[in-house]
Amino acid sequence: MNERLTTLIKARERMIEDRDAFAKVLAAPFDRDKAERARNRFIEIQTLVDAIDRAIAGEQAVPAPSIG
């Protein structure tokens, strides 16, 4: 696994942790202000996770350059 792919996987894991925190706020008893902020951040983070997933898929599809 190359360094770029490793970095993307670590970034995805970190974003999943952040997203989970906002999901917990959304699952808690309703508080309009908190829920609205959490919903917006959840969507932003999920969009980023989707982008990272595409980047990971792109990295896995590219063959490693041969030396020699």
Domain range enclosing 1: 1-28
- Which among 24, 12, 16, 9 has a CA at the least distance from the CA of 59? 9
DSSP 68: -
pLDDT computed for residue 61 by the predictor = 86
Is residue 62, in this structure, part of any structural domain at all?
no
Cα–Cα distance measured from residue 62 to residue 6, given in angstroms and rounded to the nearest whole number: 14
CB atoms within 10 A of CB 11: 15
Is residue 5, in this structure, part of any structural domain at all?
yes
pTM: 0.83
- Whether the per-residue pLDDT at 64 is higher than 80: the answer is no
Give the total number of structural domains in the chain: 1
pLDDT single digits (tens) 1-55: 799 999 999 999 999 999 999 999 999 999 999 999 999 999 999 999 999 999 9
